């Protein structure tokens, strides 16, 4: 999901890259992070768990620049059809995500994936 250019620069301690994205039509967002497995952002991960997000994917790999990366995906169930978020849930969850990442100095830009990207 994330295209990580380099492991030499972090956006915050232990975080290389963050993407907040939703499959179309775009109300239920997932959190996709590339992290440093040797120095994980433990407090942020715990805060995500407290907000109700759970890990759906974990993959460790070595980046082409030889840095170690742990790719993490999180989601949170809502009360709409197929566990999606209703409009009010979407607004509240995005506000909580924004506040959480603002707290570590990362400005997020939630986006809706293209169909090709969402169902690849």
Give the CATH number, domain containing residue 103. Answer: 3.30.70
Domain assignment present for residue 30? The answer is: yes
pLDDT tens readout for residues 80-104: 999 999 999 999 999 999 999 999 9
**Per the structure, how many domains does the chain have?**
1
Q: Is residue 92 part of a domain?
A: yes
Query: Is 9 contained in some domain?
Result: no
pTM: 0.92
Using CB atoms within 10 Å of the CB of residue 65, give its burial: 0 to 12 exposed, 13 to 18 middle, 19+ buried: exposed
In this prediction, residue 118 has a pLDDT band, given cuts at 50, 70 and 90, of: confident
**DSSP per residue, 88-101:** HHHHHHHHHHHHHH
Assess if residue 7 is contained within a domain.
no
């Amino acid at each position: 999901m994330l295209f990580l250019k380099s492991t030499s620069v972090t956006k915050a301690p232990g975080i290389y890259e963050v993407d907040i994205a939703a499959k179309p039509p775009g109300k239920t967002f997932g959190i996709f992070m590339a992290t440093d497995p040797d120095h994980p952002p433990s407090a942020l991960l715990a805060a995500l768990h407290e907000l109700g997000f759970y890990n759906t994917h974990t993959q460790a790999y070595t980046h082409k620049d030889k840095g170690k990366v742990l790719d993490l995906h999180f989601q949170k169930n809502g009360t709409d059809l197929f566990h999606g978020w209703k409009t009010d849930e979407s607004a509240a969850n995005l506000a909580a995500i924004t506040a959480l990442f603002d707290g570590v100095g990362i400005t997020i830009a939630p986006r809706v994936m293209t169909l090709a990207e969402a169902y690849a």
